[in-house]
A = this chain, B = another copy of it.
Amino acid sequence: MSDTPDSVVRTYIERHRAAFLDDLAAWLRIPSVSALPEHRDDVRRSAEWLAAKLARTGFPVAEIWPTAGAPAVFAEWPSGDPDAPTVLVYGHHDVQPAAREDGWHSDPFEPEIRDGRMYARGAADDKGQVFFHTLGLRAHLAATGRTAPAVNLKLLVEGEEESGSPHFRALVEERADRLAADAVVVSDTGMWSESTPTVCTGMRGVADCEITFRGPDQDIHSGSFGGAVPNPATVAARVVAALHDADERVAVPGFYDGVTPLTDDERELFAELPFDEEAWLRTARSHGTLGEAGYSTLERVWARPTAEVNGIGGGYQGPGGKTIVPASAMVKLSFRLVDGQDPEKIERAVTDWVAGQVPAGIRHEIVFGAPTRPCLTPLDHPALQSVVRSMSRAFDGRTIRFTREGGSGPAADLRDVLGAPVLFLGISVPSDGWHSPDEKVELELLLKGAETTAHLWGDMAETMR
């Protein structure tokens, strides 16, 4: 290997690989489960461990930021160059619950390396993906001979992502000055597969609601009254049934207003991926596909807004029969939103539409949860090319393709509050088992993540100058 910057990076990472993995394992041993009150101290310990580690990595600023819930970690390392752009890296240090008896082959909080993989809760989601930044940053400094990164680097690692980030937006708003950045790099996603490195360019937003329909003041006899009074379970079902038209498009008027359409280029980029529908159905544990006419499965879950009933209930659900007209019924709906859709407008459109579906004699109420906004990286944003180039260098010159993520996350809060574009840099693969037993991270990919960031800061400093 000649002494190119790339080979220096690779050599640095190889040399520090063992210590890096030891450190990561130490962090993974802290069961920072944000959902469980009995792990509150562990979440705090996890934040303290990370802040200390970032300080030792060289960050001049490494702070614990308390919230109304679990604490976040903030770190900052100015580049020293007044023209350097500022980049904020986002991740989270809390993890999903895990117990050996859930089906783990080793203790979820005692990391174990088997066949080139590290098995532990949080190995991929998200401690591993946060932690590769420490190694990548040191490699960046080693390869460039710098004493500070080429960009003003900031890190925000929250402690409540697995609990729905309930205090995240308030934290970002409150600390907007210190978080100010020209771009945000979110390291909490994945890529297509080990052999197909990809960059995610968007996550969907989500708005969800619960609608309660009330009919008679109590369950009443369906023989004496049924067929002559409106049944709230029928009304609930009719609302759900009316949610989609015959083409499986969402039938709420105005729902598609403003939706950024898929361009031909984007559809081609999706189509280039080696998608195997049967394998996808196995992952979905489903037995058929069904969705909006005119779009492929990937387009449906990545780039099109959807409406889904997450729960429905009313009347008698026990064993046997009970011939009643139920007093009430409810549905829980969620709407995945894409770029161009505004959750507040969607909430108004859904509220108006539901009101128009309810017959006289049925009273209803609709309650929305806090929405998450969609987040799309413009394909032509120069910083996106930095990510693609850096990743390609780490992946031996391979073509980097593009994906999106059908789910939703707090990335849009950073974009909206800070006014900065969001880039996704994730190295996890679908087999990593996020939220499942035997979560793991591929060590080779973890190191390629570090290698990517070792190139990224210099590239972004050039590109965004």
A residues sitting closer than 8 Å to B (CB atoms) are 204, 206, 208, 210, 215-218, 220-231, 233-234, 236-244, 281, 284-292, 297, 300-301, 304, 306-317, 320-326, 329-332, 334, 336, 359-363, 369, 405-408
Residue of B nearest to A227 (CB): B306
Residue of B nearest to A315 (CB): B311
Q: Which residues of B contact A307 (CB under 8 A)?
A: 227
Query: Are the C-beta atoms of B241 and A237 separated by less than 8 Å?
Result: yes
Q: Which residues of B contact A289 (CB under 8 A)?
A: 228-230, 361
Query: Are the C-beta atoms of A407 and B223 separated by less than 8 Å?
Result: yes
Query: Are the C-beta atoms of B315 and A224 separated by less than 8 Å?
Result: no
Query: Are the C-beta atoms of B244 and A288 separated by less than 8 Å?
Result: no
Query: Are the C-beta atoms of A227 and B284 separated by less than 8 Å?
Result: no
What is the distance, in angstroms, from A90's C-beta to the closest C-beta of chain B? 18
CB pairs A–B below 8 angstroms (15 shown) = A206-B223, A208-B323, A210-B321, A224-B407, A226-B334, A227-B291, A227-B308, A233-B240, A237-B239, A240-B241, A286-B325, A289-B361, A309-B326, A312-B314, A312-B315
Q: Which residues of B contact A221 (CB under 8 A)?
A: 406-407
Query: Are the C-beta atoms of B308 and A313 separated by less than 8 Å?
Result: no
Query: Are the C-beta atoms of B301 and A226 separated by less than 8 Å?
Result: yes
Residue of B nearest to A229 (CB): B286
Query: Are the C-beta atoms of A334 and B222 separated by less than 8 Å?
Result: yes
Residue of B nearest to A409 (CB): B223
Query: Are the C-beta atoms of A287 and B226 separated by less than 8 Å?
Result: no
Query: Are the C-beta atoms of A291 and B321 separated by less than 8 Å?
Result: no
Query: Are the C-beta atoms of A291 and B237 separated by less than 8 Å?
Result: no
Complex A-B, nearest 4 residue pairs according to Cβ-Cβ distance, in ascending order = A288-B361, A227-B306, A223-B407, A241-B241
Q: Which residues of B contact A332 (CB under 8 A)?
A: 315-317, 321-322
Residue of B nearest to A232 (CB): B309
- Sample of 18 more A-B contacts, CB < 8 Å, known A224-B407, A226-B406: A223-B336, A223-B407, A224-B406, A225-B406, A227-B291, A228-B300, A234-B240, A234-B308, A241-B242, A287-B360, A288-B362, A290-B359, A290-B360, A311-B322, A312-B314, A312-B317, A322-B332, A323-B334
Copies per complex? 2
How far does the alpha carbon of A285 sit from the alpha carbon of B228 in the complex, in Å? 12
Q: Which residues of B contact A320 (CB under 8 A)?
A: 369
Q: Which residues of B contact A206 (CB under 8 A)?
A: 223, 323
Residue of B nearest to A207 (CB): B321
Q: Which residues of B contact A361 (CB under 8 A)?
A: 286-290
Query: Are the C-beta atoms of A288 and B227 separated by less than 8 Å?
Result: no
Known: A308-B325, A314-B311. A287 touches B228 (CB 8 A): no
What is the distance, in angstroms, from A365's C-beta to the closest C-beta of chain B? 15
Residue of B nearest to A206 (CB): B323
What is the distance, in angstroms, from A102's C-beta to the closest C-beta of chain B? 13
Among B216, B233, B405, which residue has its beta carbon within 8 angstroms of that of A284? B216
Among B223, B237, B287, B408, which residue has its beta carbon within 8 angstroms of that of A309? B237
Residue of B nearest to A298 (CB): B228
Q: Which residues of B contact A322 (CB under 8 A)?
A: 310-311, 332
How far does the alpha carbon of A278 sit from the alpha carbon of B336 in the complex, in Å? 44
Q: Which residues of B contact A223 (CB under 8 A)?
A: 204, 206, 301, 336, 405-408
Query: Are the C-beta atoms of B237 and A312 separated by less than 8 Å?
Result: yes
How far does the alpha carbon of A324 sit from the alpha carbon of B217 in the complex, in Å? 31
What is the distance, in angstroms, from A275's C-beta to the closest C-beta of chain B? 12
Residue of B nearest to A314 (CB): B312
Among B216, B287, B331, which residue has its beta carbon within 8 angstroms of that of A215? B287
Query: Are the C-beta atoms of A330 and B317 separated by less than 8 Å?
Result: yes
Query: Are the C-beta atoms of A286 and B334 separated by less than 8 Å?
Result: no
Among B236, B287, B359, B363, which residue has its beta carbon within 8 angstroms of that of A363? B287
